[in-house]
Structure 1
């Protein structure tokens, strides 16, 4: 039996296995409560409030872990094709509005280069800490003065709460599988006194539309559960801490292939994603000058390559960790199978849509989620296409 949807009634939240979950059918089921899934759920409730919607999350809170929490949270149009700038600016408007109470901090992005180029200015004209970056080695810079920083995890939580207020249901602590023919298999999880995760109960739910917003695991779910091939991939990225002082006025620095993002009075180091990780890959640590560290080989290679231009990386300010678990890391989706892939969605089976963010989700994630919601709702107009 399908759940009726009153116009203004808030949705139901099932947070733990002590709460009985009725295995009812829904018009739409969204798998994954990262920022892409929660935003899509909210936009769907706004566009077609008469359709019942269930949002399913494996963790105990929307976006309790994973790529959304580890994303840099840097809005910038650098590296974004000009054709998608209208979407990017619409996303910026949503993030900077008071609607979701998200801290959106204007902060320039300084992209440093060794050679001159179009729109590049002398980096010596910028006030940069010489102990962080060697401007003599990188004498030119591109500056995005409209850039800003925010917490993607806050976006996931805020949009999930807004979706629930708009009538979406939320099922937490539940692992989902695609069963085919519009069926979703829901395995509600519980934890034993020895911290083992077990399946407490299994439900089968049918939906006219399914949105797979599982991040790096989305393509795997489509391929293994439905037998559908996708062109997407995934990679593992670490984000070590650099304990060097930063302020609200400190810019985001991009140099030597890595990004230094000011956060909590220090910096988070974000390596670039160069390639997909092979199937079956398990992240392991490496060695820095012969000493075991929690930084994996790919991260170490990026750090060594950037030492000449970012001297701060050669100091004790870098937290290298004793094991991989000491350094925050997560799997990231690579839309289109390449690191340069932009956020996108595609229909992978009748009624099943795959929604992917990837490295540029900070700038284009919300607009891509809206585009999918509008596609499902049958709405042709996009807000960023309107005359400004």
Structure 2
């Protein structure tokens, strides 16, 4: 199928919308390029949130939200995010943002399965704030059955922790943004492009700050993804909310080197019974997140993966598995302390494609990097979630939206009520 290029078609300005925006879900829906005040690349949790907050804070700005896949995208990190809100591991100066994010998760997005659920972290040794693990686990027989309290005799409990579904959050935020007037295009691969003179450090003479190239994707009857047509438009502001692909896009498309990195994180399944009252468990950095009647395992991220790394499965007693070697080694080391890991309840898979996994952005190249937004050039911003997106992502997306709207105050300057 021959591709079509609309580069020669003059773009027309998009008028701010007072009603719902337009959704282009497939190439059968014709699209006429127009200029936008803001274009957001990526409709995962961070991109959808910044689009929604911009429509709320600056409804006079026209906005287009672009996503390469569906909504939510099954290939991104949003669907595989743990969805565990906890203030553990955050610096004190980010606590107000974390509390505000929790309030948003609980009230602002409808049914995203938000639920207050204790987080119990287990240790081999005692310390400040730690109590006997047997006491902490006693109210939860299903969780107690997972743990050898002789190997992990101590625990600390975050009673204010909560769980939710990041994929449902992304979907709800994008839908609300569209209802508030944002346009949305799915199955569209997009990139920011340099102005005609190659400059990144000034806006265009007419006030638009960047160019966007959009490739609308289609699938052939042999299941090949092809570029159906290509469009070019201009935007006053472009937000790169592409997750782990964002830093690469900044360097490859804009020539802007960043210090950010990425790591490949898998989320294997542990088929042991869990319920609505089962707490989240954590041991040696491994999180066991109750989900869909069992547990999703969320391994710790220790470091960035090197450029060019291709995830491959490791071997257990010589048998190929779908778990990457580093993850497999960590689970093997915990099998005595968490005995079900050494049984058939652990979904090992036979190849890397059998175990859900996705690339995770590491802001600042750090395994504990906090979500951030960064100005790459005039009118171009990078937005990253990363390991703490569950707890801080919405606040950082709101902060960028408020900055683009020219607002000074932030809602977390007046803390919301403490969690119930």
TM-score interval (norm. to shorter) = over 0.9
Q: 1:70 corresponds to which residue?
A: 80
Q: Does 1:239 align with 2:267?
A: yes
Residue range with higher mean Cα deviation, 132-141 or 224-233 = 132-141
Q: 1:304 corresponds to which residue?
A: 332
Q: 2:6 corresponds to which residue?
A: none
- Cα shift at 1:267: 0.4
Pairwise mapping of residues 28-43 of structure 1 onto structure 2 (< 5 A)?
28-43=38-53
In 2: Cα distance, 1:370 partner to 1:61 partner: 21
Q: Does 1:5 align with 2:16?
A: yes
Pairwise mapping of residues 121-270 of structure 1 onto structure 2 (< 5 A)?
121-126=131-136, 127=138, 129-181=143-195, 182-270=210-298
Residue range with higher mean Cα deviation, 313-322 or 97-106 = 97-106
Contact persistence 2:274–2:295 (CA under 8 A): yes
Two-structure CA RMSD over aligned residues (Å): 1.1
Q: Does 1:14 align with 2:42?
A: no
Q: Does 1:48 align with 2:76?
A: no
Structure 1 stretches of 4+ moved >6 Å: none
SS at match of 2:29: coil
Relative to structure 1, the CA distance from residue 331 to residue 201 in structure 2 (aligned partners, 3 Å threshold; closer, same or farther) is same
In 1: Cα distance, 2:415 partner to 2:150 partner: 44
SS at match of 1:118: coil
Q: 2:205 corresponds to which residue?
A: none
Q: Which runs of 5 or more residues in structure 1 are unaligned?
A: none
Residue range with higher mean Cα deviation, 293-302 or 209-218 = 293-302
Q: 1:117 corresponds to which residue?
A: 127
Relative to structure 1, the CA distance from residue 61 to residue 233 in structure 2 (aligned partners, 3 Å threshold; closer, same or farther) is same
Q: 1:96 corresponds to which residue?
A: 106
- Cα shift at 1:100: 2.7
Cα distance per residue 1:22-70 (max 9 Å; x no partner): 1111000000000100000000011110010000000022333310000
In 1: Cα distance, 2:110 partner to 2:37 partner: 26
Match for 2:366 among 338, 353, 357? Answer: 338
Cα distance per residue 1:208-231 (max 9 Å; x no partner): 100000000000000110100101
Contact persistence 2:251–2:258 (CA under 8 A): yes
| TM-score, normalised via structure 2 length | 0.90
Q: 1:271 corresponds to which residue?
A: 299
Cα distance per residue 1:271-293 (max 9 Å; x no partner): 00111111111111110111111
Cα distance per residue 1:63-96 (max 9 Å; x no partner): 3331000001001111112211111111111111
In 2: Cα distance, 1:341 partner to 1:27 partner: 30
Q: How many residues align?
A: 387
Q: Which runs of 5 or more residues in structure 2 are unaligned?
A: 1-11, 196-209
In 2: Cα distance, 1:138 partner to 1:359 partner: 25
- Cα shift at 1:130: 4.6
In 1: Cα distance, 2:246 partner to 2:108 partner: 31
In 2: Cα distance, 1:214 partner to 1:286 partner: 29
| TM-score, normalised via structure 1 length | 0.98
Residue range with higher mean Cα deviation, 39-48 or 299-308 = 299-308
In 1: Cα distance, 2:317 partner to 2:284 partner: 20
SS at match of 1:68: coil
